[in-house]
Amino acid sequence: MATLASTTDSVWSLSAKLLFLRGRLTREGGKEPTTRDLASRTTDESGKPSLDHTVIQRTLSGSKTNPPCRTILGLAQAFDCPPAFLLPGSDDLESLEVYYGHEQAREALRLIADLGESGAEGLLQAARALRAARGLEDSPGTTADTGKPRRARRRLSRAEAAEASRQEIHGLFS
């Protein structure tokens, strides 16, 4: 999967990241989850959601741009992503998923932390050789370009909706 940083030159807002993540989640029938579905994914031990669906909607729409840590943790749980991805500047979702999902990856980073550039280069060479021996491509995750998240559609006014409907009906009978 392409990272957000590789699909655009600009920094992604929190709402853009959430729209991107929402597109990855699908319900039955291939539909994106509703905000109520997402809120239900944040239930704690007592069975109550830790986030209300209105908080998720406000954050998705961009009207809530600086949520507290508790909200970030709930959003990460709802959208099934590492919490660090939702912070400003953390656009490499794939790397964060590996870091949070694999203890061995964190251990490898700790082991090479004080080895400098040569240690990191040695680890990269070993990983590339192992991937080549197993017949895997050199750089994983770049085959599926997800692109930018789509923008929310603007709702038509009542007059615009009536005009669009009239044109569609007129087209059916012409």
Between the alpha carbon of residue 115 and those of residues 101, 106, 126, the distances in Å are 24, 15, 15
Q: Does pTM surpass 0.85? A: no
- Contact of 85 with 78, CB cutoff 8 Å: no
Model pLDDT for residues 41-100, shown as the tens digit of each residue: 998 888 888 899 999 999 999 888 889 999 999 999 999 888 888 888 777 788 888 888
Model pLDDT for residues 3-20, shown as the tens digit of each residue: 454 444 457 889 999 998
Select the more confidently predicted residue: 133 or 146.
Answer: 133
pLDDT for position 149? 53
- Contact of 174 with 168, CB cutoff 8 Å: no
Instruction: List the domain boundaries for the chain.
Output: 4-101+144-173
Identify the burial level of 145 via C-beta atoms within 10 angstroms of its C-beta, where 0-12 means exposed, 13-18 middle and 19 or more buried. Answer: exposed
Among 104, 96, 61, 62, CA closest to 76: 96
Structure tokens at 95: 């790397």
Domain range 4-101+144-173, CATH architecture: Orthogonal Bundle (1.10)
- What residue has token string 């603007």? 154
